[in-house]
Amino acid sequence: TEGADAADSSDENKVSGHDPTRDATNQPFGYVLRTMQYCAAASTCSNLLSSFQRTPMGGYGANGVCVDSVAVIQSALRPDFSTTLYPIFLYGPSRQEMFQVYDRMKRELCGEGGSKYVHDDFIVSRLQSVMHHLPVDIAPSLSQYPDLCRRILSNIPLNAPFALLDVAKAQIEQLLRESSVLSSPMMPVKCLDERSETSVVKAEEQES
Question: How far is it, in rounded angstroms, from Cα 44 to Cα 49?
Answer: 9
DSSP code at position 102:
H
d(CA 128, CA 110): 14
User: Three-state DSSP class for 61?
Assistant: strand
The pTM of the full predicted model, rounded to 2 decimals, is 0.69
Q: What percent of the chain lies above the pLDDT cut of 70?
A: 68
Give per-residue pLDDT as tens, 36-72.
999 999 999 998 998 888 888 888 888 888 899 999 9
Cα distances (Å, whole numbers) of residue 25 to 19, 21, 28, 32, 77: 11, 6, 8, 8, 9
Instruction: Give me the chain's average pLDDT, please.
Output: 76
Residue 93 has pLDDT above 90, yes or no: no
Q: What is the pLDDT of residue 91?
A: 84
Q: In which band, very low, low, confident or very high, does the pLDDT at 80 lie, cut at 50, 70 and 90?
A: very high
How far, in Å, CA of 151 to CA of 147, rounded? 6
| C-alpha to C-alpha distance for 134 and 131, rounded to whole angstroms | 6
